Amino acid sequence: MWDYTDKVMDHFLNPRNVGFLEDADGVGEVGSMACGDALRLSFRLDAEGRIAEARFQTFGCGSAIASSSVLTEMLIGKTLEEAARITNEDIVRELGGLPRQKMHCSVMGREALEAAIVDYYRRQGKEVPCALLHEDPEICHCYQVSEHTIRDAIARHDLAEVEDVTYHTKAGGGCGQCHDEIRRLLAEYADAKAAHPPVTVDLAADTGFHREVARLLAEEVAPALRADGGDVELVAVHGRRVHVRLTGQCAACPASDATVEGWIQQRLRELLADETIVVVEEKS
């Protein structure tokens, strides 16, 4: 029997915000009922552009229900930009943890949220933010898991085995025909990791702030960029000004300014609880 937290059990037995919003501004659907897990997430914005309501419908296990339920609560009151920064790790933390074998349920919630936000922008005829555009091919057809989702899980959790990928995304848990493709993605990540070792910091010379910035860039920021073929390097820290260099696909992306100021800078400010941090991109 799985070891569930009290909060997981509460959201499973008393799920919040169940249903579908007929007047939704955005709808995201992921998964497949034929293979055991599916989720539909809908949200409606208020006049100020914040999420006023969020609803979910899911076909899955107790962890899927709990993950979807707590996600809807996390969304209320947030702007789309704030909502887009919610990760599956945030969902797991909000629940007080999930069994390793059930991590994929939180990933499904994150995917549905992404799909719903993309749906909103397309309905409005607006340009979809670069960070939300994932046109990667589907790797696992049994569970409809994209290459981006698998790469993201591998990078975020430093995965090394197909079994680990299955636990985090459910990819590979069906017929098994995608195992070779998953092994390819694992090998590419291992090669990239070897070619881009973590930023090293001279502990004798650098401040605690410098060391913490280096750690957060390596552990919280770089994995997400690597999932999309990019990376970030720490160049220098001067006071509260953090100088970074984008590499890989991020370096050539026309939205690199938005990546640096709109995401990396904001992420460091949140993680360090310091609104004075300024991130500056150093061009190669």
Taking the alpha carbons at both ends of the chain, their separation in whole angstroms is: 53
- Clarify whether 130 is annotated catalytic: no
Among 111, 109, 194, 107, CA closest to 153 = 107
- Clarify whether 175 is annotated catalytic: no
Among 265, 258, 268, 188, CA closest to 226 = 188
* Phi, psi torsion values for 249, nearest 5 degrees: -65, -25
Q: Which of 61, 105, 175, 178 is catalytic?
A: 105
Residues with a catalytic annotation lie at 35, 105
